[in-house]
Amino acid sequence: MLKPEYEPLNKAELAKVLRIGSHQRSAFRDALAELEATGELNRGKKSRYRLASRHKRARLESFAGTIHFSRDRKRQSAFFIPDDPEAHAAFRAMDRPRVFVPGREAGTALDGDKVEVHLVRNEPPVWHRHSTRTAGKRETEGKDELHARVIRVIERSRTRIVGRFYSKGARATVVPEDGRLPTSFRLTRTLPGANQGDIVVAEFAGWDSPHNLPTAAMIEVLGRDTDPGVDILAVIHRYGLPLEFPDDVLREAEAIPETLSDEEIQRREDWREREVFTIDPEDARDFDDAICVTEHPDGRWELAVHIADVSHYVRAGSALDREARKRGNSVYLADRVLPMLPEKLSNGVCSLKPGVDRLTHAAILEFDARGGLTSARFVSAVICSHRRYSYEDAFRFMNLDEAAVASLSDEKERKLTLHLKRAWRLAAMLREKRFAGGALDLEFAEVRVVLNEEGKAVGVKRSEYDESHQLIEEFMLAANEAVAYETRNAPAPSLYRVHEDPDPGKLQEFAEQARAFGHAVADVSHRPELQKLLKNLHGKLEEHSLKIALLKSLRRAEYSPEPIGHYGLAKVNYTHFTSPIRRYADLIVHRALRRILSRRQAPTAPEVADWTPSVAEMASIAGHISKTERIAAEAEVDTQRIKMIEYLEHLCDGDEETVFDATIFDVMPVGALAELDQLMVKGMLRKDDLPPREEYFFDRGRSEFRSRAGSPPLAVGTRLKVRLYRVNKSRGFVDFVPISGNNRPHKKTSV
């Protein structure tokens, strides 16, 4: 095949040319299959074989890791991230935290699969290397290119495919909604109730060659995409999220008593008469943290952060524990919560509801008059919450003036309001110290869709990140940091929340985006300069978009058995301790802390310490729950996006003249990416949809669309009015068209 005169041959023709005897045919077929699987050969039309590339290839080391595909089916490609920490470090040393995988080199891998790859560097042909040309296509093609080639799939990540069912004669296929998957799967089994165009769930069956369709077997029919609830069910199945708890888990949960024994109460520090209260979202039902703040006459402060004592009820190795570990975390979708623990615990015996006795694991922190931490102790306690505030209620009471507080008729309400104000004075000091220490302000307002009883999007709710949110954030951060310091210095195996330093190149890309909006930006790799920029963004229309862009430029926070620090929070020691009802990491940390306290025989000694994992097991748990967290976050974003699109359609169905204020925050040859100012929804102003009378063209040098008719250019930072034009719920995209006095509005369509 290396010979210049070689013409592609099929299997039989190759065997004939190579004079393969009948007794060697089986080995010959296996050799061809292996060469094809490793990407050395490509099988083209009429099953004829050719070399995978005309370029010589320098094969480097092989690595195991995860492959992630792009969402663009038309130009599908992928990137590879190694699993081994040492390999990860080696890649970053090459300034390549991930390596490109061309679509043709991905073999039969699916998005998220664990694969083995060879790193390959293409060496250009001799005439390229010795060419004297200094410009043009040949020079570009002649550059060495490092990429990865999949040589085998180690482990499949996908077991379920969600998509649209189509059949023609005996041929049945499912077309996935997820653009990261192959365009279609051949169905080896269908269900009688499936109709053309239905959304169905199929179990992945196999994929033997990239030249053939992967196969799957239909296992469930969800219905038409217009049926109530089908859109969210499709997301749940796509991400493999659990809908029900196994029977043994439910039986264990039901066996837990509703009331506390006198013996258990006597063993704990009693805080039931203290003014403990909770602050949570309005629609929350799982209250896992409560606070109590005391200001001493000499200026010292005491902060008690009470956390639901889930580890008292969920013992290591139990059915409840195994299921919680498997789930990793609760998932908060647009229309429902998929809890980590059964409702008996999450909304019942563990939830710190007002007026009922509850067990807690508490961090009691002492601060000096300037907000400096002076001591910390950790106790098993019992509380009876005096009040449940929503963030909105807490904010309203925190901002009452003295006269309004004095006029409150309920003495308990008046005392709690003063307590809220006192708590904010401490939180404000802690917040000031944290930002002075280099923490980044990455918070912003949130817009969530409001659904009716049928699950239809009928409105939106904007939640500002005000002082009530900041108060709780500061106290939870303080408790988490104190616990991390305790476990790190024990020493004892535990889990930590870590956030590695960002790639300087990514930060510079973010800086360029900020400059495009007119911000004066210095070297953002210097933390004070990044903090200064974030402060300047506060209250600006582009704040949300640019903070999202910054988050994308930073590395993702994750769990680790090693306390390597948290870049965003500017903390050396940090963990997750404050949400054990909804995060398995916190449950593990509670057990680790309890084991440390039991060894010290503290005065308020907890029950016999539960089993805690070894360092190696901690690493395995950290990897798993980091993955479940990513999956949950993606599913939550997808459902919110689906319902936001539904809301946009709802707005425009009654009035196609509905106009939105928008801001352009990126411009590409295919169009401009804009965000609606109030709804924070991103969508495209596609080049082909721009008003023809304006004769817009893309100015590559200025990265903007300019008009030959003299209209203002479409550039980053441009404010404009738009209408909804095209939506695609399954793919999650929205297209807008600009509105001006010279163009006639397009009619919106759904695809």
**DSSP character string of 249-313:** HHHHHHTS-SS--HHHHHTSEE-TTS--EEEE-TT-----EEEEEEE-TTS-EEEEEEEE-HHHH
For residue 586, pLDDT over 80 is answered with yes
pLDDT > 80? residue 96: no
Q: Residue 548, exposed/middle/buried by CB under 10 A (0-12, 13-18, 19+)? A: middle
Residue 90: predicted pLDDT: 67
- 179 neighbors 731 (Cβ within 8 angstroms): yes
pLDDT at 138 over 50: no
For residue 95, what pLDDT band results from cuts at 50, 70 and 90? low
Paired with 80 in beta bridges are 67, 99
* Contact present, 410 and 380 (Cβ < 8 Å): no
Other CB atoms within 10 A of residue 403 CB = 7
Rounded to 5 degrees, φ, ψ at 319 are: -60, -40
CB 441 within 8 A of CB 473: no
**What pLDDT score does 38 carry?**
66
Q: What is the pLDDT of residues 440-472, one digit of tens each?
A: 999 988 999 999 988 999 999 998 899 999 999
Q: How far, CA to CA in Å, does 52 sit from each of 37, 47, 526, 641, 706?
A: 11, 14, 46, 40, 43
Give the range among 97-101, 113-117, 119-123, 635-639 with minimum mean pLDDT: 119-123
Tell me which residue has tokens 């023809």: 692
Residue 720, beta-bridge partner list: 662
| For residue 617, pLDDT beyond 80 | yes
Predicted confidence at residue 121, as pLDDT, reads 74
Confidence category of residue 85, pLDDT binned at 50, 70, 90: low
Contact predicate 431/478, CB 8 Å: no
pLDDT given at position 385: 97
Whole-number Å distance between alpha carbons of 432 and 441: 11
**DSSP label at 392?**
H
Structure confidence at residue 577 (pLDDT):
98
Is residue 75 pLDDT above 70, yes or no?
no
How much is the pTM? 0.85
Q: In 10 A of CB 264, how many CB atoms? A: 15
DSSP structure string for 423-445: HHHHHHHHHHHHHHTT-------
Residues in the chain, total: 751
SS (H, E, C) 87-112: HHHHHHHCCCCCEEECHHHCCCCCCC
| pLDDT reported for residue 130 | 43
What does the mean pLDDT of the chain come to? Answer: 89
Burial class (CB in 10 A: 0-12, 13-18, 19+), 96: middle
Residues 580, 590: Cα–Cα separation, whole Å: 8
Buried b (16+ CB within 10 A) or exposed e, 701-718: eeebbbbeeebeebbbeb
**Residue 353 gets which letter from DSSP?**
-
List of residues 6+ apart from 620 with CB closer than 8 A: none
The pLDDT of residue 489 is 93
Q: What is the mean pLDDT of residues 495-521?
A: 93
Q: Please name each of the domains of the chain with its CATH number.
A: 1-52 (no CATH), 53-155 (2.40.50), 160-224 (2.40.50.640), 247-500+557-638 (no CATH), 504-553 (no CATH), 654-750 (2.40.50.140)
Q: Give the CA distances from residue 204 to residues 8, 167, 283, in Å, rounded to whole numbers and listed in that order.
A: 33, 18, 37
Assess contact for 696 and 670: CB atoms under 8 A: no
pLDDT band for 739, please (50, 70, 90 cuts). confident
Residue 93: pLDDT band with limits 50, 70, 90: low
Dihedral sign from CA coordinates of 242, 243, 247, 253: positive
- Record the tokens describing residue 304, joined without a space: 């008690």
Instruction: In whole angstroms, give the CA distance from residue 66 to residue 220.
Output: 28
Count Cβ atoms below 10 Å from residue 102 Cβ, excluding itself: 16
- Residue 655's pLDDT band, with cuts at 50, 70 and 90, is low
Q: Copy the structure tokens of residue 38.
A: 């490793």
At residue 187, does pLDDT exceed 60? yes
The pLDDT score that the predictor gives to residue 423 is: 98
* Rounded Cα distance, 747 and 254, in Å: 55
**7 band by pLDDT with thresholds 50, 70 and 90:** confident
Which among 149, 198, 146 is positioned nearest to 175, based on CA atoms?
198
CB atoms < 10 A from the CB of 749, how many?
11
Q: In sequence order, which residues have a C-beta less than 8 Å from that of residue 409 and are 6 or more positions away?
A: none
Arithmetic mean of pLDDT, 599-609: 60
In which order are the strands placed within the sheet that holds 289-295? 269-270, 373-384, 357-367, 301-308, 289-295, 277-280, 387-390
What pLDDT, on a 0 to 100 scale, did the predictor assign at position 656? 66
The predicted-structure confidence for 355-391, as pLDDT tens digits, reads as follows 999 999 999 999 999 999 999 999 999 999 999 999 9
Mean pLDDT in residue range 189-211: 93
* Residues ≥6 apart with Cβ < 8 Å to 33: none
Provide the percentage of residues in the chain whose pLDDT is more than 90.
68
Please give the Cα distance from 108 to 254 (Å, whole number). Answer: 45
Rg of the chain over all Cα atoms, to the nearest angstrom? 30
| Residue 88 pLDDT exceeds 80 | no
Contact status, residue 388 vs residue 280, Cβ threshold 8 Å: yes
Model pLDDT, residue 122: 64
Distance of CA 71 to CAs 497, 536, 733, Å?
Answer: 29, 34, 12
Residue 614 phi, psi dihedral angles, 5° rounding: -75, 175
pLDDT, tens digit (0-9, with 9 covering 90-100), for 328-349: 999 999 999 999 999 999 999 9
Pairing of strands 199-206, 671-676: unpaired
Residue 442 · residue 568 · CB < 8 Å: yes
Is 50 or 309 the better-scoring residue by pLDDT?
Answer: 309
CB-CB contact of 481 with 438 (8 Å): no
pLDDT at 518 over 70: yes
Q: Is the dihedral of CA 33, 34, 38, 41 positive or negative?
A: negative
> Nearest CA to 638 among 239, 338, 340?
239
**What's residue 191's pLDDT?**
95
Q: How many CB atoms lie within 10 A of CB 274?
A: 14
Per-residue pLDDT for 104 more than 80?
yes
pLDDT the model gives residue 223 = 95
pLDDT of residue 6: 85
Q: Is the pLDDT of residue 98 over 50?
A: yes
Cβ atoms 491, 592 nearer than 8 A: no
pLDDT at 294: 97
Instruction: Say yes or no to pLDDT of 227 above 80.
Output: yes
